């Protein structure tokens, strides 16, 4: 049985199910290495502006190891130097050689593991998120520097490049990675968990809305994410105001530095009573808001390499409205089929599309939702595991 090792910065609710599935499948001898206990312990999250601890089991069903961080056991994950784990070299050296898959190169430990793993005889897989559209917005000198540091440097230690979607695939190709070394590992969420939640919650939608304090017959527009500049939540507020659709309500699920700005602007626009701030909602309860919604919007800018809240929303059969710099827009949105894409920062275009979705006949909106479910069903952990088997077992 071939050894398969995953290395992550910390336990992440979107990645743990892959370790669990690979362990249960039995094809590989699976181990998962973590550099921090953030997520399973209440450590500060700077973007949420509070300590966050996920309330669903993340460590169950597979083998995991927490490496010792020289920066301190309870240091939250931050910049490149926040994770320094020389012990990863010793751990890799003592284990049977196999495949090491590292999530990104944004931390010292990850770069160290890639280089050391390769020198020790591991087959190295790199699972990144970089987005080619975002790269093109960088100054020319930065793009050249990155191509030199990565394409001519770190990438020389990598055997396989695991791409999450089309923009990520283009990034690797533009960095000089041959197509034959690319493995499609779609970014996904726990479709089974969210779909089962939808089935249970939709049976009593009126009661659900009552519990959430939402009008039973309102048209609910949902934003789910951190309230930070990258997510551009104020764009949606302006568009919602301009769309001026009677009986529509805008719900923000999330916390962050822009909350006060959103609340102040809503008051200034005279729509505060139609804007609901749900705050941070943990994993066990987030499905309630998707089930209560009618339309999902993600209007992010540069830095939104994918946007996994979109996957979650699509599992709840919601039409999606995505900015063109949201990384998953090229993969998950079929314009006119399950939603629309608009130019990032163009509030007028966002307003037009939002008004269109909110005034669609109910049967057309429902058809878009069903299309969302069908599209997102193929973005799953089973696809990732099968593609890894095809690539790694024949190598």
Q: How confident is the model at residue 395 (pLDDT cuts 50, 70, 90)?
A: low
For the chain, give the number of residues: 395
Among 48-62, 197-211, 227-241, the range of highest mean pLDDT: 227-241
**In 3D, which of 8, 67, 12 has the Cα closest to residue 45?**
12
Find out whether 227 and 233 touch, Cβ atoms under 8 Å.
yes
Rounded alpha-carbon distances, angstroms, from residue 124 to 6, 71, 186:
10, 26, 18
Task: Just give the CATH number of 2-188+380-392.
Answer: 3.40.50.2000
Q: How confident is the model at residue 312 (pLDDT cuts 50, 70, 90)?
A: very high
48 pLDDT more than 90: no
21 pLDDT more than 90: yes
Look over the chain and give the mean of its residue pLDDT values, rounded to a whole number: 94
DSSP 3-state of 223: strand
Provide the token pair at 232: 């551009």
Of residues 49 and 307, more confidence is placed in 307
Find out whether 161 and 184 touch, Cβ atoms under 8 Å.
no
The phi and psi torsions of 309 (rounded to 5 degrees) equal -60, -30
Judge if 2-188+380-392 and 191-376 fold alike in CATH terms.
Answer: yes
Provide the token pair at 278: 């749900």
pLDDT tens digit string along 193-228?
999 999 888 778 889 999 999 999 999 999 999 999
What is the structure's pLDDT at 271?
Answer: 97
Of residues 76 and 17, more confidence is placed in 17
**In 3D, which of 86, 95, 89 has the Cα closest to residue 31?**
95
- The domain ranges of the chain are 2-188+380-392, 191-376
Q: Cα separation of 69 and 40, whole Å? A: 16
pLDDT tens digit string along 134-166?
999 999 999 999 999 998 999 999 999 999 999
DSSP 3-state of 277: strand
Provide the token pair at 301: 């800018």
Burial class (CB in 10 A: 0-12, 13-18, 19+), 81: exposed
241 pLDDT more than 80: yes
The percentage of the chain sitting over the pLDDT mark of 90, rounded to a whole number, equals 88
How far from the centroid of its chain's Cα atoms is residue 388's Cα?
20
270 pLDDT more than 90: yes
Rg of the chain (C-alpha set)? 21
Average pLDDT over residues 119-131: 96
Q: Cα separation of 175 and 181, whole Å? A: 12
DSSP 3-state of 176: coil
Architecture of domain 191-376: 3-Layer(aba) Sandwich (3.40)
Provide the token pair at 51: 């300590």
326 pLDDT more than 80: yes
Rounded alpha-carbon distances, angstroms, from residue 361 to 219, 321, 334, 364, 366:
12, 17, 19, 5, 9
pLDDT tens digit string along 65-74?
999 999 887 7
What is the structure's pLDDT at 186?
Answer: 97
In the chain, the N- to C-terminal Cα span, in Å, equals: 14
The secondary structure of 33-46 as a DSSP string is EES--BBTB-EEET
């Amino acid at each position: 049985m071939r050894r398969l090792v995953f290395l992550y910065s910390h336990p992440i609710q979107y990645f743990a199910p892959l370790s669990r599935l690979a362990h249960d499948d039995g094809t590989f001898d699976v181990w998962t290495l973590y550099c921090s206990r953030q997520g399973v312990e209440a450590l500060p999250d700077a973007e949420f502006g509070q300590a966050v601890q996920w309330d669903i089991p993340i460590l169950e069903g597979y083998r995991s190891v927490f490496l010792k961080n020289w920066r301190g056991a309870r240091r939250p994950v931050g910049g490149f130097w926040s994770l320094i784990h020389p012990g990863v070299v010793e751990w890799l050296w003592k284990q049977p050689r196999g495949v090491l898959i590292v999530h990104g190169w944004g931390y010292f430990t990850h770069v160290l593991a890639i280089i050391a793993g390769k020198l020790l005889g591991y087959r190295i897989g790199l699972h990144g998120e970089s987005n080619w559209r975002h790269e093109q917005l960088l100054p020319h000198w930065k793009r050249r520097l990155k191509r030199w540091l990565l394409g001519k440097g770190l990438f020389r230690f990598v055997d396989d490049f695991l791409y999450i979607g089309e923009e990520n695939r283009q990034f690797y190709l533009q960095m000089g990675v041959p197509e034959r070394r690319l493995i499609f590992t779609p970014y996904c969420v726990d479709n089974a968990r969210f779909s089962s939640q939808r089935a249970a919650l939709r049976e009593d939608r009126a009661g659900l809305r009552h519990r959430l304090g939402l009008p039973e017959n309102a048209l609910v527009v949902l934003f789910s994410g951190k309230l930070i500049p990258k997510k551009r939540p104020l764009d949606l507020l302006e568009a919602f105001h301009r769309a001026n659709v009677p009986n529509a309500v805008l719900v923000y699920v999330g916390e962050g530095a822009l909350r006060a700005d959103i609340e102040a602007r809503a008051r200034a626009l005279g729509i505060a009573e139609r804007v609901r701030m749900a705050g941070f909602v943990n994993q066990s309860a987030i499905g309630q808001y998707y089930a209560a919604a009618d339309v999902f919007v993600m209007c992010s800018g540069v830095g939104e390499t994918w946007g996994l809240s979109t996957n979650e929303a699509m599992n709840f059969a919601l039409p999606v409205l995505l900015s063109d710099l949201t990384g998953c827009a090229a993969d998950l949105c079929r314009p006119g089929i399950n939603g629309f894409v608009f130019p990032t920062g163009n509030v007028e275009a966002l307003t037009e599309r939002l008004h269109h979705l909110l005034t669609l006949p109910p049967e057309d909106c429902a058809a878009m939702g069903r299309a969302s479910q069908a599209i997102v069903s193929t973005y799953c952990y089973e696809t990732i595991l099968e593609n890894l088997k095809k690539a790694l077992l024949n190598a």
